[in-house]
């Protein structure tokens, strides 16, 4: 049984939908993704039987689809732009999932390091990397045999030529604020990043050469964080977001950026690209009306009404007895106008905007045009 507080732990917004770059610009044969609910396409649901109710997924999949959103996630838009199918979760054993074009190890609630707070997800970054090793080993074993499942498995060269996306760390920080001070969290960030360093090394040793490492977003701006830590105006920053949460995210990102540079120096034959999600999401939240969105601090699907429409006791789509009354966390009428889907995760419209910005290459270091093969330039 997953605690309702899992929602707060799992983290993750209509607008003028910008067309993504043309799909023929990309030719990664496969994508291997590691992360939390920001990129979970069904891992937590398959892995621990986590239950998601409608209207999750209503916009695109017409069913919750294992994603904490009304539709597609950033990773789904990235896959579309690369002309690749949506990633199946490693943990999904039903329905003969195809892993030909990659595999998703992300699971909602995941942290880099095991979390101190209960009810967090067991699939830490280290576990996801171990799952990848097992996945690769097993694929190579099966490919060596004469089996009929080859067409559902990546080729051996896909492991080398594939893209490895890492998007994790948000839950380490958000959860830490329940038990630690900001100073304690800042002092702990290097320890968290050592684990990322180990993961990159392990993947490199396994043959991975192309990395996109997403930094963490401005979590202090999310309705779920604001409703818990942001009710005192003195705790807010210039964006009216919880300053300590955003400060932790900024320090984490500085160090993650430094780690990416260090890893690039260390692994000269690899392409290690740092992707600044924080700046893309901050700009979206600060300048929402410019991008056609409504109040970014109000969750579309939740309970409680303004200013945040978020209540930790009840997840989007659920019906609960709160204060002796049966209430349902319902969705707003037009989720494409919202940035926050459920107070923690972004709407499909916001995810599409973020993906379009990632794909400009401008928020990457090095910018795509520096390191990417010429056919990937745009």
Ligand X SMILES: *[C@@H]1O[C@H](CO)[C@@H](O)[C@H](O)[C@H]1NC(C)=O
Looking at the annotation, which residues are catalytic? 37, 342, 345
Residue 212 parent element (H or E): strand 210-214
Residues 6+ apart with CB under 8 A from 279: 363
Shortest Å, Cβ 134 to ligand X = 41
DSSP class per residue in 14-35: ---PPPPPPGGG---S-EEEEE
- Return the half-sphere exposure (C-beta side, CA atoms, 13 A cut-off) of residue 248: 27
Q: Is the CB of 323 or the CB of 326 nearer to ligand X?
A: 323
The residue whose two tokens read 């097993």 is: 138
Shortest Å, Cβ 27 to ligand X = 32
Q: Is the CB of 230 or the CB of 304 nearer to ligand X?
A: 304
CA distance 332 to 111: 30
Q: Is the CB of 139 or the CB of 248 nearer to ligand X?
A: 248
Distances (CA, A) of 194 to 125, 184, 201, 339: 12, 17, 11, 32
Q: Is the CB of 42 or the CB of 296 nearer to ligand X?
A: 296
- Return the half-sphere exposure (C-beta side, CA atoms, 13 A cut-off) of residue 129: 23
Whether the Cβ atoms of residue 162 and residue 87 lie closer than 8 Å to each other: no
Residue 103 parent element (H or E): strand 102-104
Q: Is the CB of 63 or the CB of 231 nearer to ligand X?
A: 231
* Contacting ligand X within 273-332 (CB under 6 A): 282-283, 286-287, 304, 311, 322-323
Q: Is the CB of 102 or the CB of 304 nearer to ligand X?
A: 304
Q: Is the CB of 116 or the CB of 254 nearer to ligand X?
A: 254
Instruction: Say how far residue 150 (Cα) sits from the centre of its chain.
Output: 29
Count of positions on this chain that bind ligand X (CB under 6 A): 8
Shortest Å, Cβ 213 to ligand X = 21
Shortest Å, Cβ 181 to ligand X = 26
Shortest Å, Cβ 303 to ligand X = 7
3-class secondary structure, 67: coil
Shortest Å, Cβ 325 to ligand X = 8
Write phi, then psi, for 33 (nearest 5 degrees). Answer: -115, 135
Whether the Cβ atoms of residue 300 and residue 221 lie closer than 8 Å to each other: no
Pairing of strands 163-167, 210-214: parallel
The residue whose two tokens read 């294992």 is: 66
Pairing of strands 31-35, 163-167: parallel
Shortest Å, Cβ 299 to ligand X = 14
> x/- site string to ligand X, residues 17 to 56, per CB under 6 A?
----------------------------------------
CA distance 9 to 78: 24
**Would you count residue 251 as binding ligand X (CB under 6 A)?**
no
CA distance 351 to 265: 32
Enumerate binding residues for ligand X (CB under 6 A): 282-283, 286-287, 304, 311, 322-323
């Amino acid at each position: 049984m997953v605690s309702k507080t899992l929602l707060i732990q799992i983290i993750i917004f209509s607008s003028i939908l910008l067309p993504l770059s043309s799909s023929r610009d990309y030719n990664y044969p496969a994508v291997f993704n590691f992360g939390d609910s920001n990129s979970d396409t069904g891992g937590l649901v398959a892995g621990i039987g986590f239950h998601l109710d409608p209207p999750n997924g209503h916009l695109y999949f017409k069913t919750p689809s294992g994603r904490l959103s009304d539709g597609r996630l950033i990773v789904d838009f990235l896959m579309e732009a690369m002309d690749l199918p949506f990633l199946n979760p490693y943990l999904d054993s039903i329905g003969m999932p195809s892993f030909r074009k990659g595999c998703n190890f992300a699971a909602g609630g995941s942290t880099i390091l095991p979390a101190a707070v209960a009810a967090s997800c067991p699939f830490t970054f280290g576990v996801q990397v171990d799952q990848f090793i097992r996945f690769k080993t097993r694929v190579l074993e099966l490919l060596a045999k004469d089996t009929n499942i080859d067409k559902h498995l990546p080729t051996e060269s896909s492991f080398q030529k594939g893209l490895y996306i890492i998007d994790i760390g948000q839950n380490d920080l958000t959860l830490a604020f329940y038990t630690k001070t900001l100073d304690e969290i800042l002092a702990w960030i290097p320890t968290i990043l050592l684990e990322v360093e180990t993961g990159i090394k392990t993947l490199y040793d396994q043959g991975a050469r192309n990395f996109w490492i997403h930094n963490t977003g401005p979590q202090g701006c999310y309705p779920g964080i604001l409703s818990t830590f942001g009710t005192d105006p003195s705790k807010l920053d210039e964006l009216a977001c919880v300053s300590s949460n955003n400060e932790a995210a900024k320090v984490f990102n500085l160090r993650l950026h430094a780690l990416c540079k260090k890893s690039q120096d260390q692994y000269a034959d690899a392409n290690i690209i740092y992707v600044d999600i924080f700046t893309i999401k901050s700009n979206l939240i600060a300048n929402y009306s410019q991008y056609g969105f409504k109040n970014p601090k109000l969750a579309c699907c939740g309970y409680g009404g303004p200013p945040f429409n978020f209540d930790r006791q009840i997840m989007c789509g659920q019906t609960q007895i709160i204060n002796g009354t049966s209430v349902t966390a319902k969705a707003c009428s037009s989720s494409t106008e919202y940035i926050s889907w459920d107070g923690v995760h972004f709407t499909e419209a916001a995810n599409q905007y973020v993906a379009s910005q990632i794909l400009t290459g401008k928020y990457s270091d090095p910018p795509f045009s520096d390191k990417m093969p010429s056919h990937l330039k745009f």
